[in-house]
Structure 1
Amino acid sequence: MTDAKARLHHELRGCRESLLWKLDGLGEYDLRRPMTPTGTNLLGLVKHVAGIESGYLGEVFGRPVSDPPPWFEHDMDEPNGDLWARADESSAAVTAFYRRVWAHSDATVDALGLGAVGRVPWWPAEQAEVTLHQMMVLMIGETNRHAGHADIVRELIDGATGLRHDFRFVPEEDDAWWAAYRDQLEATAREAAGR
């Protein structure tokens, strides 16, 4: 794959799938429960990335997403409102919206060249003019960043790791091996701290 736009698009699609995979097989409680002191949760991460992508690969290029869900606007009125789903916001609706955003963004990418100019209305005026290339790189970074958060949250919930079901990217060892490995890291950290 030598075309730069095709390569970026391929990377964006891959990190989207990786993020969404982290939700597979979990019930509503595990999808929503806060797993860090700041409330990080899997469904909230997906909801957040859906909102970001709809802006950067839609609105920025004069192509706002049509028929956004009711939560799309009001969540911005409260701090972190886009980082969690209310009880009446189904996980199916959040993930369906994210998939709609993918299709909308993909149409933007297909229609425009990498040099196409857009405007980010929520950025300072002197930085607001951007290209599709810049926004694709930004979205790959943002999606991968939040997929990394999701990696850790999912591992805390049930131990699942990796990019996909079929690509764990960690050694296939038993629980005893992992416990010994973690103990080794703890001992190394304490030794380093004592120097």
Structure 2
Amino acid sequence: MHGLAPPVADEREALLAFLAQQRRQLRATAHGLTEEQGWATPSASELSIAGLIKHAARCERGWMKLVLGHSTAPQRSADESDAPEFLPAPGETLAGLLADYELATAETDEGIAGIADLGRGVPVPRGVPWFPADAEEWSVRWVLLHLIEETARHGGHADIIRETLDGATLFPLMAAAERWPDPWFEPWEPAVSAVSVASAG
């Protein structure tokens, strides 16, 4: 693997390649975390890396329901709080959320593969205050660009959370998670705790 999106031949390939790249970077922020670290909220908000991955999977599924015509409703009601979405539900684990995110992204890719025209209209749900009231539809192209934007924004959140937790930064995490050959960056490794050092002595 590599740290940047690969060369692309056309618009569809470019949109999917850059979306895939942002997904990889979001997943990499979870590499090597314990369950406790995955749900840690070291900033002033309730955001955690596990919660962000949970949210990203939900976003992909919500947008694809609109794209595929399975729903015309907003992804959530206007008065519904974001907070429960970013917090652990009973039985949820970081590993389970990562696996579910992989499944959600595969569903998106499969759905987009079946759409010949990226200019096809996607109805704008009514009654969502941050959606334009004067627009009837977006295009599939617009939805893919929005998913890139959304994933990149939350990947940035996850970067800050991860650096706050243990100082790890993205490219060393990717080098470790993807086993880059001859990486320019020293692959991330978990720190040796004082307890481990003492027991080794």
What band does the TM-score fall into relative to the shorter chain?
0.7 to 0.9
The alpha carbon displacement at 1:93 in A equals: 2.3
The alpha carbon displacement at 1:3 in A equals: 0.6
The alpha carbon displacement at 1:88 in A equals: 2.1
Counterpart of 2:119 in structure 1 is 115
Cα distance in 1 for partners of 2:136, 2:103 equals 25
The alpha carbon displacement at 1:8 in A equals: 0.8
Say if 2:25 is the partner of 1:21.
no
What SS does the corresponding residue of 1:82 show, helix, strand or coil? helix
Counterpart of 1:159 in structure 2 is 167
Counterpart of 2:86 in structure 1 is 83
Contact 2:46/2:83 (8 A) holds in 1 = no
The alpha carbon displacement at 1:86 in A equals: 2.7
Counterpart of 1:38 in structure 2 is 45
The size of the alignment, in residue pairs, is 164
The alpha carbon displacement at 1:108 in A equals: 1.7
Counterpart of 1:100 in structure 2 is 103
The alpha carbon displacement at 1:158 in A equals: 1.0
Contact 1:61/1:119 (8 A) holds in 2 = no
Counterpart of 2:9 in structure 1 is 2
Cα distance in 1 for partners of 2:80, 2:35 equals 24
Counterpart amino acid of residue 134 in structure 1: W
Counterpart amino acid of residue 60 in structure 1: V
Counterpart of 2:145 in structure 1 is 137
Alignment TM-score, normalising by the size of structure 2: 0.71
Which residue of the other structure, out of 127, 142, 153, is the alignment partner of 2:135? 127
Contact 1:58/1:104 (8 A) holds in 2 = no
Higher helix share: 1
Instruction: Compute the RMSD of aligned alpha carbons.
Output: 2.8
Where in structure 2 are there 5+ consecutive unaligned residues?
1-7, 177-183, 187-201
The alpha carbon displacement at 1:82 in A equals: 1.2
Where in structure 1 are there 5+ consecutive unaligned residues?
65-71, 173-195
Identity %: 29
Alignment TM-score, normalising by the size of structure 1: 0.73
